Amino acid sequence: MSKLAIIGAGSWGTALALALSPRYDRVSLWTHEEELAARMSRSRENDVFLPGFVLPFNVDPTPVAEEALEGAGVVLGVMPSRFARRLYGEMLPFFQPEMVFVSATKGIELGTLLRMSQVLQQTIGIRFQPRIAILSGPTFAQEIASGEPAAVVIASTDSELAASIQASFSGPAFRLYRNCDPIGVELGAALKNVIAIAAGVCHGLGLGSNALAALITRGLAEITRLAMAMGGKPATLAGLAGLGDLVLTCHGELSRNRSVGIELAKGRKLADIVNSMKMIAEGVETTCAAIDLARKFAVDMPITEQMGSLLQGARSARDALRELMDRELKNE
């Protein structure tokens, strides 16, 4: 029997359990919250992170890592980036060399500035060399859970692995494209959240479509510059994991990062905004990591820099906008 283990029962992990359940005999959905796992088992609903959707009969919520991972052929990591290293480390005794690992976490580890696949490789590499792929693209959990059509990317330097996951995960409403550029895919996935905060600021300030179009275009330019400096391919950033995901998170009302920007533009304190949210807005921490990466690789990222100042409370939303517009004139 085929089994998929999903680590993380937030909205995205739960949505993936719903979308991928027809593709596997069994799907285990791990959460660190024992009470939530018990409620999901009884009611067949994730009433905290994705209410209103019924878990299929073959999805088994559990707070026990060994139980979740036993017999799994594919391990899908969907935890927030800040918890990735700790969780992979705690679950290390239950990982097996024959497992394949798919990372669907969109973020960069603070301090180390490592991408999530690098965190996974470093953690599991203590025991064995894992086969790793990255799942990313323009997706909102609610729409995936509803069965609405979506196209995403599965990226790996291991073409055989990418093809295998593509075949296993693809279905009538969930289409995967292969990609051989994990660097570009992961950076696009993480950094678009920073630009989405800026898009929320534009909305919160009452700015129109002109400003948003300029923001998305110039935001993509600075994401691409950093990705190329780190070894990524520009074509990747023009695809689903780059432009596609960026457009979605900057326009979509379901975007948590965009919501953070809207509230910042209203003058709310970042701590109050974050504390009022059920789920983590990855862009907040990613902004700090992105600024450090930009400095490390000597890449100009003015929008990201301004978002950093805004998040730290060092600059108002209007002052950040003014700084961007008053920069030295240059070629595109």
Dihedral over Cα of 145, 27, 123, 65: its sign: positive
175 bridge partner residues: 151
Give the residue numbers annotated as catalytic, written as ranges: 192
Token representation of residue 154: 């599965």
Question: Do 153 and 176 contact (CB within 8 A), yes or no?
Answer: yes
Chain length of the chain: 332
CB burial of residue 93 (10 Å; 0-12, 13-18, 19+): exposed
Question: Do 145 and 152 contact (CB within 8 A), yes or no?
Answer: no
Cα dihedral: 296, 297, 298, 304 (round 10): -80
CA distance 132 to 196: 27
H/E element holding 229? Answer: helix 209-229
Q: Which residue has the tokens 């029962």?
A: 9
CA distance 158 to 223: 24
Question: Do 81 and 12 contact (CB within 8 A), yes or no?
Answer: no
Token representation of residue 186: 């992961």
